[in-house]
A and B are shown apart, each in its own frame.
Chain A
Amino acid sequence: AAGVIQSPRHLIKEKRETATLKCYPIPRHDTVYWYQQGPGQDPQFLISFYEKMQSDKGSIPDRFSAQQFSDYHSELNMSSLELGDSALYFCASSLGALSTDTQYFGPGTRLTVL
């Protein structure tokens, strides 16, 4: 079965640079979620989109923005990167945006900011 695809899998950036992470949800899934996971930490919700509209917003810094496109893929744009942004970034997708709709996580993008 098709899974959530994230690219790139690894990314190394310098401080103050920008980064764009991409997420391709499971086919026919209409909801995308972004999470940030620091080392040894639990995933922290950043933002989600349902049918191309922002549905919920969590602890996403103002330096970050995201959108969901007409083909339902999503991109997380990160600017003015800081050392503390180094983390695993997971995208998850679901069919529906209810809390009872199962979220399927992608393999993640490991971002390292030097």
Chain B
Amino acid sequence: GQQVMQIPQYQHVQEGEDFTTYCNSSTTLSNIQWYKQRPGGHPVFLIQLVKSGEVKKQKRLTFQFGEAKKNSSLHITATQTTDVGTYFCAGPGGNTPLVFGKGTRLSVIA
């Protein structure tokens, strides 16, 4: 079935450094979504990408959807301690509305 691979699994950065997480799908996706889950919290929707090659920005966060609609990335510029959490990509998967990647757990060292 549909699989969404996400790397890296963990990322430790110094505050102020940049961070990127990558997501790859085994099949073409109609859309890809990104969620953030703080420790002890619930997934919070960040953004949805639909178009091939789409790039969206939210302040320090930049989201990209690949030309083939099989990969995506989330880049955070100048990380802050408030960015700590696990970032999940997710895409539709057959009879599953959303298939989540394994997530990238971001730690930010002040």
Are the chains A and B members of one assembly? yes
The segment out of B12-20, B60-68, B75-83, B95-103 that lies at the interface is: B95-103
Q: Which residues of B contact A99 (CB under 8 A)?
A: 30-31, 91-92, 97-98
Q: How many residues from B make CB contacts under 8 Å with A?
A: 23
Q: Give the complex CA separation of A100 and B31 in angstroms.
A: 7
Nearest CB to that of B105 among chain A residues? A40
Query: Is chain B's binding surface mostly helix, strand, loop or mixed?
Result: strand
Nearest CB to that of A56 among chain B residues? B95
Q: How many residues from A make CB contacts under 8 Å with B?
A: 22
Q: Give the complex CA separation of A33 and B101 in angstroms.
A: 17
Q: Give the complex CA separation of A58 and B35 in angstroms.
A: 20
- Most A-side CB within 10 Å, residue of B41, B98, B99: B98
Q: Are A105's CB and B103's CB within 8 A?
A: no
Query: Is chain A's binding surface mostly helix, strand, loop or mixed?
Result: loop
Nearest CB to that of B42 among chain A residues? A105
Q: Which residues of A contact B99 (CB under 8 A)?
A: 45
Q: Are B95's CB and A58's CB within 8 A?
A: yes
Q: Are A107's CB and B42's CB within 8 A?
A: yes
Q: Are B48's CB and A43's CB within 8 A?
A: no
Question: In the assembled complex, how far is the CB of residue B95 from the closest CB belonging to chain A, in whole angstroms?
Answer: 5
A90 at the interface (CB under 8 A from B): yes
Q: Give the complex CA separation of A108 and B43 in angstroms.
A: 10
Q: Give the complex CA separation of A97 and B92 in angstroms.
A: 12
Nearest CB to that of B103 among chain A residues? A42
B residues lining the A interface (CB < 8 Å)? 30-31, 33, 35, 41-45, 48, 50, 88, 91-92, 95-103
Pairs A–B under 8 Å by Cβ, sample size 26: A33-B98, A41-B102, A42-B103, A45-B96, A45-B97, A45-B98, A56-B97, A58-B95, A90-B42, A97-B97, A99-B30, A99-B31, A99-B91, A99-B97, A99-B98, A100-B48, A100-B50, A102-B33, A103-B45, A103-B98, A104-B45, A105-B43, A105-B44, A105-B45, A107-B41, A107-B42
